[in-house]
Structure 1
């Protein structure tokens, strides 16, 4: 069984994230969307809230599983018997960082492969940070996030 992981903070999940998840689900038997718990950051949404939002927006994709982890991704994938990491790329700046991470992961686990997937053009500018900033200042986030995420954001910034 070919299992891929799409790791990230997903604070919150955007339509760009969802695009990568859906496209990955067509290429492998199972996709695990893994929310990174990073104690060094102060996210807007708790890990539990992010997991619930991801479950809701992926509920119609039968081969997607939602999970979370902390620590090194290579340890998580080894524990879950995952052999492919899928990372979405928006721009060259993403590539530089993600290449460094992919090469480090490969050094730590030579059996692990990282696949880079270009985001669809309509989401190439989109990030969770931008969505939060726009919402915080009462800008329109229609089309940037799924409806359930939009409602959760409005509630946070109420």
Structure 2
């Protein structure tokens, strides 16, 4: 089964993010929630705070990890060996 990333700024983390991540984790062997560390917009929370919030909110999902990144999303996907990128609307 393939692995995937779910990228975003997640500022702040909300129930929609949690729902998408939880559902996506059920579709893949492993899901990495990828928190972009250098967006071109003003943020409410630091990268470390956003990562901690996401880790706490998704602690119940066993096949999921949370990582911050500051490269192009496609480069991060390659770095972690992801075959898919999850997006939600």
Question: What interval of TM-score do these two structures reach, taking the shorter chain for normalisation?
Answer: over 0.9
Give the paired residue count.
Answer: 89
Deviation at 1:39, TM superposition (A): 4.8
> How far does residue 40 in structure 1 lie from its aligned partner after superposition?
2.4
Which consecutive unaligned segments of at least 5 residues does structure 2 have?
A: none
**Corresponding residue for 1:30?**
30
TM-score, normalization by structure 1 = 0.54
Q: Which has the higher helix share?
A: 1
Q: Which residue of 1 aligns with 2:74?
A: 74
Q: Which aligned segments of 4 or more residues in structure 1 are displaced greater than 6 angstroms?
A: none
TM-score, normalised to structure 2's length? 0.94
Cα deviation, residue 37, structure 1 = 1.2
The one of the two structures with greater contact order (alpha-carbon pairs below 8 A, sep at least 6) is 2
Cα distance in 2 for partners of 1:20, 1:39 equals 21
Q: Where does structure 1 lack aligned partners over 5 or more consecutive residues?
A: 90-158
Q: Distance in 1 between matches of 2:3 and 2:18?
A: 17
Flag the 1:86–1:39 CA change in 2: closer, same or farther, 3 A: closer
RMSD of the TM alignment (CA)?
1.0
**Which position in structure 2 is the counterpart of 1:141?**
none
How far the C-alpha of 1:38 sits from its partner, in A, is: 1.8
Change (3 A) 1:87 1:39: closer
Q: CA deviation at 1:24?
A: 0.4
Q: Distance in 1 between matches of 2:15 and 2:31?
A: 17
